[in-house]
Chain A
Amino acid sequence: MLPRVSAVRPLRPLSCFPLCSGGPEVPAAATVLLGAPHGTARTKNNVQRYFGTNNTICSKKDEQPASMHEISKETESQESVKENTKKDLLDIIKGMKIELSTVNVQTTKPSSTRQLKSVEATINRLQKAPGDAPKKRTKSLSPELVAAASAIADFLPFDKQTTKSELLRQLQQHEEVSKAQKNGGRAKISVSNIISDMKVAKSATIRASTRPVHQIQFDEGSDDYMSQKTSDVKKSLRKNMLKGKRLNIFDLKAVTEETSETETTPSLWDIEFAKQLAAVNEQPLQNGFAEMIQWTKDGKLWEFPINNEAGFDDEGSEFHEHIFLDIHLKDFPKQGPIRHFMELVTCGLSKNPYLSVKQKIEHIEWFRNYFNEKQDILKENGIEFN
């Protein structure tokens, strides 16, 4: 019985408001109604909750609670004619006292009938009833409620059948809402393996958080059950993949703190691992350009634009060190044949592109040593050198 009802349930809330003009508002309204508490035992409270909301609606139009807001908006547009009757009801309801007690319906019937009368009125005001309220929905309500509803209907001045059906429908709705929430979690759990795996680990919070999503989808009455199920599961899994329990072994702060990395040469393991990594992305060369790139990396092809000094650094020496070699002649005499000779040497060396600066200085050094050794010959010829 119950499962059948719940199976049919998805369409019910929708049929509750078939003549309500606000299409998109219907799901929202349904959602809001779904926030109702569980349990058939509390339908009485729901009914009584209507009082609260009714009161506010009736007394303060501006501060309408969200639950009744859409409904009232829809119906106001339709039933602007009933404005004057509304005013009468307003007065009635204002005078009433609200009793929020879970007393048995039957015992409080006299008072509840009065209260329910106004409820009925507001219901009438707020909703156009479809004439064809399905009869079988009333079956799921407890007989006491049904009796109460019929008693109310008898009391009220409006059309008995419609009022009774409307009232019962409202109660039915709450019933279904509570059942939906009860079953919603269960149904979801049986949907996929993942959820069944997660069931043990997940707390009821997850169910609660995804319940509104679930309910909305049910209320929208998607015709393809699979797609609804998969999108629902997808949404819940989406949360599950990234959000959910983790191992909680590592601490973010401990992991990200900069430890002093000692510089070690990469070991054999590292080298081999790097080779494996490089092999992951290896693809055969796609075209001639890729081949040329590979050759340039290997060193087989020159780099363009051509650099004349590619691969040749000259030990960082500049051109002036090659050309202005007079600096190195300061140990030689400033005049005389030796100086003359050494100036010729430096002139030649400065034009030599093949020797490095170091080599040129060595040349000059050699000459200095040579002349130092041959001092006696120089002295014989009267040439100064020191």
Chain B
Amino acid sequence: MESRLFLLAKKSGENAAKFIINLHPKYFQKDIAEPHIPCLMPEYFEPQIEDISEAALKERIKLKKVKASVDMFDQLLQAGTTVSLETSNSLLDLLCYYGDREPSTDNHFQQSEKSEELEEDTGENDKKSKADDQFGVTWRAKNNAERIFALIPEKNSYSYCTMIRGMVKHRALVQALNLYAELLNNRLQADVYTFNALIEATALNMNEKSEDKWNNILELLKQMAAQKVKPNLQTFNNILKCLRRFHAFGRLPGLQTFREMKAIGIEPSLATYHHVIQLFYHHENPSKGSSRIIYDIMNEITGQKFTPKDPDDDMFFQSAMRVCSFLRDLELAYQVHGLLNTGDNWKFIGPDHRRNFYYSKFFSLLCLMEQIDVTLKWYKDLVPSVFFPRSQTLIDLLQALDVANRLEVIPQIWKDSKEYGHTFRSDLKEEILMLMARDQHPPELQVAFADCAADIKSTYESQDARKTAPDWPANSLNCIAVLFLRAGRTQEAWKMLGLFRKHNKIPGNKLLNEFMDSAKASNSPAQAIEVVKLAGAFSLPICEALTQRVMADFAISQEQKEALGNLTSPTSDSDSDSDSDISEGI
């Protein structure tokens, strides 16, 4: 954890320094490094050329200054100079890519807090677009791109293509399709990227049914083949991504697309497999038979080393592990993990949250299905060097320990949890205490458990100090008291009783019985009466049973007997009569 924080801190320091250098370049001109290190010199973000010329326009385009370039272009046109087609096209590129807005200049310095796609919510994400695109239609009507597009005298296919791509990127789908029709009317040819964008446009069109959309996509592909445009990996990945929206209908077309890709000889990337998995395992409904396609996929790609070919490549492992966890198949999970460790594939694990998701699912599956020794070995390996477990993961591990009857590891787990920041997670603490307090254990273990319980108690107390309303769960109180008793720390155990009253929580029956046992063991009737008084204070039904026990087992004086009788008398008259009878009998 610290190492990651440290790295992040270093990186942010670097970024801040770079920002300052670029802000005041004139102070940082001294260059004594031999050979010259370009990346340490200040970068120039302001255009140098001031006169109105095409070179100035090119410079502004290069510097990605959208507004300045548009102004320069307008000035050039007003001055009457023609702008070359190439420059116009690159201006169109700039406008279309950024949607007529300035590119965010300081995205170096902000963590990209765009909506991270948690794969668990893929249902919602089908409607949302990827983090790069904005939601909704962001292509303003009659914006500069269209205006300049109209102004260019001779448009070549590249102009059309870049306009179509821009429109699709910013979700002006109908216009994109119309522009494509215009392109065909002018007998120009679109390139493969344009077709990719058009496929995406067809699939995003909200008004049509899935079958129609699929037919449209097929039409586009046929046109592509007719115009002899070679499809690339992006084409097929786009198709598969769009088929995800069609849910069950998309499965057969998806497989057909996959086979087509292989038949042509385009090697599928991890993103391809990710889309196929999402296509088949989207609705996690175990009542329907789940597809077995994940096994085919894993058989296909085991041992293969991948290189990044698609920006979605890093989503594969997350979805694969999600499927393994859903199918409860440990063998498959091992296979996926093996693939992760082949060659350089580990780099495809993605950013932090995806890595955490992957390992959480993997470890939970291990806890569920694997033998405890192997699980503990994985625990040592993975935690904390690879990922930090959530409290739910730790609870899974505890349950696995419980099943395998290895409860002696619990104090160690608690110690580790404190380091991972789970000190104040009440569900985790309750689980630990409950598991420890449930059964009797050999004495050394009891001592260890009692130490652990004392530790947890201190965390509760420190939590109290911070919060105004102290909140100890009743279960925890019960368990801690029991553990103290069993380990022979009777002093502290009796203190716990006091805490019950303080926090207004009701002690359990078993607990009171154990206290009674301990009082008997230490042969102190005062303590026994204490217990009864406590029970009486809470008006517990067990109070009578306890009273009787006190009467039976302890040698108590007459006043004490009367006090006991008084305690139980409010409950019922007959009981007190019977009590007095019993006491008479004794």
Q: How far is the CA of A55 from the CA of B251 in the complex (A)?
A: 53
- Closest Cβ–Cβ distance, residue A151 to chain B (whole Å): 49
What is the 8 Å Cβ interface bit string for chain B, positions 85-121, against chain A (1 contact, 0 not)?
0000110011001000000000000000000000000
Question: Does A268 contact B308, Cβ atoms closer than 8 Å?
Answer: no
- B586 CB within 8 Å of chain A: no
A-B contact pairs, 15 of them (CB 8 A): A192-B291, A193-B289, A198-B252, A237-B296, A242-B262, A248-B260, A249-B224, A268-B90, A268-B94, A276-B311, A277-B308, A278-B308, A280-B313, A280-B314, A283-B346
**Residues on the A chain within 8 Å of B314, using CB:** 280-281
List which A257-293 residues lie within 8 A (CB) of chain B.
Answer: 259, 267-269, 272-273, 276-285
**Residues on the B chain within 8 Å of A233, using CB:** 292
- B162 CB within 8 Å of chain A: yes
Given known A-B contacts A194-B293, A246-B256, A269-B97, A281 and B347 have beta carbons under 8 A apart: yes
- B377 CB within 8 Å of chain A: no
**Residues on the A chain within 8 Å of B23, using CB:** none
Closest to B62 in A: A268
**Residues on the A chain within 8 Å of B7, using CB:** 284-285
Q: How far is the CA of A281 from the CA of B263 in the complex (A)?
A: 28
- Closest Cβ–Cβ distance, residue B570 to chain A (whole Å): 62
- B585 CB within 8 Å of chain A: no
List which B219-257 residues lie within 8 A (CB) of chain A.
Answer: 221-222, 224-225, 228, 230-231, 248, 251-252, 255-257
Task: Identify which of B132, B230, B300 contacts A255 (C-beta below 8 A).
Answer: B230
- B136 CB within 8 Å of chain A: no
- B193 CB within 8 Å of chain A: yes
- Closest Cβ–Cβ distance, residue A206 to chain B (whole Å): 14
Other 20 A-B pairs with CB < 8 A, given A241-B259, A278-B308: A192-B292, A193-B251, A193-B289, A197-B252, A230-B292, A234-B292, A237-B292, A238-B295, A238-B299, A241-B255, A247-B221, A248-B260, A250-B224, A254-B228, A267-B90, A269-B165, A272-B97, A273-B311, A280-B311, A310-B35
Task: Identify which of B38, B162, B293 contacts A299 (C-beta below 8 A).
Answer: B38
- B32 CB within 8 Å of chain A: no
Q: How far is the CA of A281 from the CA of B221 in the complex (A)?
A: 31
Q: How far is the CA of A285 from the CA of B3 in the complex (A)?
A: 10
Closest to B232 in A: A255
Question: Does A281 contact B348, Cβ atoms closer than 8 Å?
Answer: yes
- Closest Cβ–Cβ distance, residue B70 to chain A (whole Å): 15
Question: Does A242 contact B291, Cβ atoms closer than 8 Å?
Answer: no
Question: Does A247 contact B256, Cβ atoms closer than 8 Å?
Answer: yes
Q: How far is the CA of A284 from the CA of B11 in the complex (A)?
A: 10
Residues of A in contact (CB 8 Å), total: 50
Give chain A's interface residues, CB within 8 Å of chain B.
191-194, 197-198, 201, 230, 233-234, 237-238, 240-252, 254-256, 259, 267-269, 272-273, 276-285, 298-300, 310-312
Q: How far is the CA of A126 from the CA of B137 in the complex (A)?
A: 80
Q: How far is the CA of A192 from the CA of B248 in the complex (A)?
A: 13
Question: Does A283 contact B252, Cβ atoms closer than 8 Å?
Answer: no
Question: Does A240 contact B97, Cβ atoms closer than 8 Å?
Answer: no
Question: Does B225 contact A251, Cβ atoms closer than 8 Å?
Answer: yes
Question: Does A245 contact B295, Cβ atoms closer than 8 Å?
Answer: no
